[in-house]
Amino acid sequence: MPADSSRLRQTIIVIAVPVAVVAIGVGAFLANRLISAELENTAFQRLMTVSRRASTTVTQYLDNSQGELAILARAPAVIAAARDAGRTAERTGLPQLDIEQLEDRFAETRTLRDDPTLVRYLKSLRDGSDLVKI
């Protein structure tokens, strides 16, 4: 009987321990896969939420900017300055110059001439508009 007991113990050790190790390994592998999938899903959902919020914010900004641009485009001071600048550009031959020549010519001032009415109008809008900088 002691030999049977010893053999039984040895059989349990030889069979049960590897089976337990494999079972624990399979369980750990499956748990890892489940946890990874859940974390990936959570990260994806958060990313989608942030993307939607960013998209909404950008859309609102563009809508507001489009409205501001429409207001600026209808302003009498802007229209008059644009017409005057077009005439000045034609008179001075600016359309015939290439971009490099234009960049050199307007490197300091970036304007054909200062229009006091337009400058006053744009300064009055400066605090409330990103487009005025343009």
Q: From CA 32, how far away is CA 42, in angstroms rounded?
A: 15
Given this model, what pLDDT does residue 134 score?
60
- Tell me how crowded residue 81 is: count the other CB atoms within 10 A of its CB: 21
Torsion sign (Cα): 9, 13, 14, 19 = positive
Q: Which helix (H) or strand (E) holds 74?
A: helix 2-74
Q: Rounded to two decimals, what is the model's pTM?
A: 0.49
What is the pLDDT tens value at each position of the chain, 134 positions in all?
566 778 888 888 888 888 999 999 999 999 999 999 999 999 999 999 999 999 999 999 888 888 888 888 898 888 988 898 899 889 989 999 999 998 988 888 777 777 788 888 877 777 667 766 66
Q: Quick one: tokens of 67? A: 């409205």
